[in-house]
Amino acid sequence: MSLQNKSDNFSEWFDRVLQKAELVDIRYNVKGFIVYRPNIMFIVRRVYEIFEELLMKKNHKPALFPLVIPISNFRKESQHIKGFEEEVFKISEAGGEKLEEALFLRPTSETAIYPMFALWIRSYKDLPMRIFQSVAVYRHETKATRPLLRGREFLWIESHCAFVDEGEARKQVEEDLEITKKTFRELGLPFLMVEREPYDRFHGAVDSYAFDTLLPDGRALQVATTHYLGQSFSNLNVFDIKFTDKDGSKKNVHQTCFGPGVSRIVAAIISIHGDEYGLVLPFDAAPTQVVTIPILKSGKEDTIMEKSRIITQNLSKAGFRSILDDSEKRPGEKYYKWEMLGVPIRIEIGEEEVDGDFVTLFRRDLRARERVKDGKVVKRVSELKTLVLEELGRRAWEIFNSSIISINSKEELFKNKENVKIVRVPFCGRKECADEIKAEIEGMEVRGKRMDIEEKTSGKCFWCGREAVRIVYLAKAY
């Protein structure tokens, strides 16, 4: 039994995979909040671990700040409060009494962290300061909620850094981009790395950069952002984060913040790699990397089970997350279960495998079998760890790149609007044009200009006919 093709009805496919693979439960009785079940939490933890390891290698220190933020903190940066005040959850009472000052559940933590930076940073010797926390954030999302994709509680990492000058801060932004690229490559995920338009920046940022990927329904999903904040939060009128420089002068720090969206990255892994049989996971993200299925035959049970145990133990000793499914279910039921859970490698052992001194190895990514001699199983699985990731990445990038089309006029976009996914266009940079595009092409948004390649433009804006100033990418987004 299989699911339908995800391209036919992605929404239905996604919901069924979440249910059948026992990933999340949406029956928690608060709208926009879900229960993360054990099968998905391992994947969540792996995404956290990959980012955390890369951050710590770059001298970021882990920290944890309070969930609640005083409303007075939040209102110190005017653009920030303007962007978030309508989305926050507010606590007005506690212990049956009204609080002297209302508290917000963090929608993001600039206003929780930066008052502490102002206390900790005194000298240039305290800089650079790089910290991160792995937490949940809360926003009262008013659009239709979707598990993992758009909710009111979602998991992420946020890194906050302070530097002596703009140059050092800009280098941090570049480092954030490299960390994200490396993580996505380890997960086989394609991405569009863009600089957001000036009117589409993070609230309080000088410049904003984002990673978008593409889901099977043709919608872009923002999965990570990094921002150069300049001195927007550190100046005298906000949090006044000052340091004494080498020459004795007082200066305000330059800041950055970085936010990989863990819930959305996990959603991308599920959606981009999955198929009509369920999850397809790269080795690093898989809770179980190899499952051994004994195919018992009367009179051969002991030898089949003994070989199955030895193969499983050898793989475990080699460092793979390997299990033996010795349950009483029929082999076909076991195949269905482990394919639904996305286990990269299945090893089948029956009478023929015992007599022939080989195993039958099934690759989940290709849905193909091969025979491997007993003594070469560990070596072959080690090879497949890399080959599976390469195959998943190749397929994902092929679909992603084939979804990008170049268009040079409004008429051409209208003509193709039912079929386009990501559109590359010459653009004037005007917010008015972006607003018109979104209104007239059913939510299609300007995502920004690419950061990984330089694309020169000449001629006219595809929408209004004014002089084009850059090439940008459009997509419908979650």
106 Cβ contact partners less than 8 Å away, ≥ 6 residues apart:
65, 67, 68, 69, 112, 135, 137, 138
Contact indicator for 52, 157 with CB cutoff of 8 Å: yes
Amino acid letter, residue 142 = T
Rounded Cα–Cα distance for residues 185 and 472 (Å): 23
**Chain segment 244-300, per-residue pLDDT in tens:** 999 999 999 999 999 999 999 999 999 999 999 999 999 999 999 999 999 999 989
Cis peptide bond prior to 294, omega within 30° of 0: no
Q: What integer pLDDT is reported at residue 77 of this predicted model?
A: 66
CB 266 within 8 A of CB 40: yes
Is the pLDDT reported for residue 334 higher than 70?
A: yes
**Domain boundaries defined on the chain:** 10-273, 290-384, 404-476
Q: Is-contact 185 393, C-beta < 8 A? A: yes
Can you tell me the distance from the alpha carbon of 457 to that of 472, in angstroms, rounded to the nearest whole number? Answer: 10
Residue 1 has pLDDT above 60, yes or no: no
- What is the b/e burial string over 124-144, where b = at least 16 CB atoms within 10 angstroms of the residue's CB? beebbbbbbbbbebbbebeee
Q: Are 363 and 390 in contact (CB under 8 A)?
A: no
**Residue 106 confidence (pLDDT) above 70:** yes
Identify the residue whose tokens are 């330089």: 454
Looking at the predicted structure, is the pLDDT value of residue 418 above 90?
no
pLDDT of residue 80: 64
Per the rule left: phi > 0, alpha: psi between -120 and 50, beta: everything else, 442 is left
Residue 379: closest CA among 419, 430, 345, 416: 345
- pLDDT for 83: 66
pLDDT(396) > 60 = yes
Would the pLDDT of 474 be above 90?
A: yes
Q: Which of these, 198, 195, 259, 204, lies nearest to 230 by C-alpha position? A: 204
* DSSP symbols for 365-388: TTTEEEEEEGGGHHHHHHHHHHHH
Q: How far apart are CA 376 and CA 382, in angstroms?
A: 10
pLDDT band at 93 (very low <50, low <70, confident <90, very high): very high
Write down the pLDDT at residue 79: 66
Choosing among 3.40.50.460, 3.50.50.60, 3.30.110.30, 3.40.50.2300, the CATH entry for 404-476 is 3.30.110.30
Per-chain mean pLDDT for the chain: 95
Least reliable range by pLDDT among 83-87, 198-202, 350-354, 453-457: 83-87
* Residue found by looking up tokens 């049970």 in the block: 301
The pLDDT tens digits of the residues spanning 4-28 come to 889 889 999 999 999 999 999 999 9
CA distances, 329 to each of 3, 295, 296, 341, 363 (Å):
21, 10, 11, 16, 21
Q: Return the pLDDT at 417.
A: 83
Percent of the chain with pLDDT over 70: 98
Q: What are phi and psi of 331, to 5 degrees?
A: -50, -40
Does the domain at 290-384 match CATH 3.30.70.980? Answer given as no
Give the residue from 177, 181, 211 showing the smallest Cα distance to 196: 211
| Segment 38-55, tens digit of pLDDT | 999 999 999 999 999 999
The torsion angle over the Cα atoms of residues 301, 384, 48 and 55, rounded to 10 degrees, is: 150
Angle between helices 166-186 and 38-57 (to 10 degrees): 140
CATH code for the part of the protein at 10-273: 3.30.930.10
Does residue 65 sit in helix, strand or coil? coil
CB-based contacts of 310: which residues, under 8 Å, 6+ apart?
none
CA 110/CA 168 separation, integer angstroms:
19
For the segment 426-449, what is each residue's pLDDT rounded down to a tens digit?
A: 999 999 999 999 999 988 999 999
State the Rg of the chain over Cα.
Answer: 25
